[in-house]
Amino acid sequence: MVVKDEKKTFTVLVSDAMSAEGLQPILESSAVNVIQESIDTTTTPLDEVDALLIRSATKVTAQVLTSMPNLKIIGRAGVGVDNVDIDAATAHGVVVVNAPDGNTISTAEHTFAMMASLVRSIPQANQSMEDGRWDRKKYQGAELYGKTLGIIGFGRIGAEIASRARAFRMNVLAFDPFLTQSRAEKNHVTAVSLEEILEQSDVLTVHTPLTKDTKGLLNDETLKQTKPGVFILNCARGGIIDEDALFRAVESGHVRGAAIDVFEEEPAQNHPLTKLPQVITTPHIAASTSEAQQNVAESVSKEVLDYLCGSPAPHALNLPYLDQDAFEKFSPFTKLTKTLGDTASQLFKEPVKQVEISYAGEISDQETGLFNRSFLAGFFRHRVDDYVNEVNASVVAKERDVELLERHESESKGYASFVKAVVRGESREIHVHGTFSREIGPRIVEINGFQIDFQPAPHSLYVRHNDRPGVIGKVGQLLGSHDINIATMQVGRKEEGGEAIMLLSTDKECKEPVIRAFEEIDEIVSVSSIELG
């Protein structure tokens, strides 16, 4: 490789403790000088540092970035990047990379170890032996052979768990809004609905991201839909399971046992679930193996070294710095397409096979590849357990077998710029059209053939209803009774008395109890909350 800088060596600061084996790529390279010291105590001048390797302890703020004017890349040895100000890094022209695959195996193996321990009461039996007891009859367990495993969330980790479950000759069901039939078949699992997986699973494990749609996904209501005697596991994200509801379900005997590695609030010391003998817990250690730590350190070490030596960074999480002219030129359109993608994703709750984006007018003459990625970044934001943006959105789509089509059309329907997006699933599709006005920003002008003129807002409601007198008043009254103020409202219909839609912006989020309350209005067909980033 040809080093792209005039200097013969680069200075790499490893600010957090990392696996020595994982750091070998940079330790053995003559192209870099490695300093293993905390950024807070290092004697190395920060303005000489070319690359920074971190885990979760080091906080990379805008102030830190200002003190490191020569910094080119930050490598996060792990998945989460909450400790890095990515916007500030982008503004400073610093690339941020992570290691999204490093802990996949460790988490999958920990989940399966928890599963086996749970159904055989191994921790409880071990404790009884330590207490001097011999309780053979008390700890009669269950076999995994022949049981139905339900995996909620079928990303990398879910797929690894499925392969291990098949080795135990379990029947594997999977629920994931983005799981297509072809990918399910490829992984030898049966794709089912949420209701079906709750009703049919003997063992249920969750592996979704934590979003507004998945927070409290397993709660009092959904737990009641599960099989009596079900086993529940969470080694993904605290908050996916309502912990109070799980406590009640275990205490009542409906849930036979639970295995929990993650909690809504951590550290979870003296947590009520740890007091139940049917529950086994671990302190968020699913990704804590020496191999995982070596893998993530090795992944970012290689990527940082390759980047410094002139190669692209495949796991980059941010875009290169754009000068002011380029930013002003592209940002209005990326904001539009990201908004359309975000909106379409929240209105389309089933597996996706294809996304088709059409451009007309001024926008079609721009760099539409960037706008495609922006749409996908918005689209996947609520659905995957990774940091998704314009850089890696295409990779995320490819991993999930989502085909992207781009078209250019001459008809812009009178708008200066016009974007049509069609999201296709296995049984239906959704159309979301938008435009951009320099005076008022992005606007949604059509949803599934209903003409509207809606300015996207942080909190919105999409209401499908039958066109009858008084429906709008009922909607306003219901929201008012929940102390929710309507900021704007747009109504669209195709014919008098037929189906119609309302798109409302509200002053605050309409949470699940409000959404359920709409069932009381006979004319309402469906209601979806839209939360834009």
User: Rounded to whole angstroms, how far apart are CA atoms 35 and 470?
Assistant: 70
pLDDT band at 381 (very low <50, low <70, confident <90, very high): confident
In a shared domain, residues 27 and 119? no
Q: Is residue 3 part of a domain?
A: no
In a shared domain, residues 87 and 179? no
Grouping H, G, I as helix, E, B as strand and the rest as coil, residue 502 is strand
pLDDT for res 367: 80
Grouping H, G, I as helix, E, B as strand and the rest as coil, residue 477 is helix
Active site residue 315: no
Q: How far is CA 230 from CA 193, 203, 205, 256, 502, in A?
A: 18, 6, 11, 6, 40
Tell me the mean pLDDT in the region 182-193: 94
Residue 1 pLDDT > 50: no
In a shared domain, residues 95 and 110? no
Compute the CA torsion angle 144, 237, 314, 366 (nearest 10 deg).
120
Range of the domain at 256: 104-281
Q: How far is CA 39 from CA 42, 87, 146, 411, in A?
A: 6, 20, 53, 55
Q: Of the residues 28, 37, 251, 266, which is catalytic?
A: 266
Which residue type, as a one-letter code, is found at position 524? I
Q: Is residue 116 part of a domain?
A: yes
Q: Is residue 428 packed enough to be buried (19+ CB in 10 Å), middle (13-18) or exposed (0-12)?
A: exposed
pLDDT for res 326: 66
In tens, the pLDDT along 441-465 reads: 899 999 999 999 999 999 999 999 9
Residue 181 pLDDT > 80: yes
In a shared domain, residues 123 and 181? yes
Q: Of the residues 92, 284, 459, 464, which is catalytic?
A: 284
User: Rounded to whole angstroms, how far apart are CA atoms 126 and 130?
Assistant: 6
Q: Of the residues 55, 183, 237, 256, which is catalytic?
A: 237
5 or 468: which carries more pLDDT confidence?
Answer: 468
In a shared domain, residues 364 and 479? yes
Active site residue 373: no
User: Rounded to whole angstroms, how far apart are CA atoms 447 and 422?
Assistant: 10
Q: Are 136 and 342 in contact (CB under 8 A)?
A: no
In a shared domain, residues 141 and 68? no
Q: How many domains, the chain?
A: 3
User: Rounded to whole angstroms, how far apart are CA atoms 368 and 1?
Assistant: 32
pLDDT for res 366: 85
Element housing 269 (H / E): none
Q: Is residue 40 packed enough to be buried (19+ CB in 10 Å), middle (13-18) or exposed (0-12)?
A: exposed
pLDDT band at 319 (very low <50, low <70, confident <90, very high): low
Active site residue 284: yes
pLDDT band at 439 (very low <50, low <70, confident <90, very high): confident
In a shared domain, residues 158 and 48? no
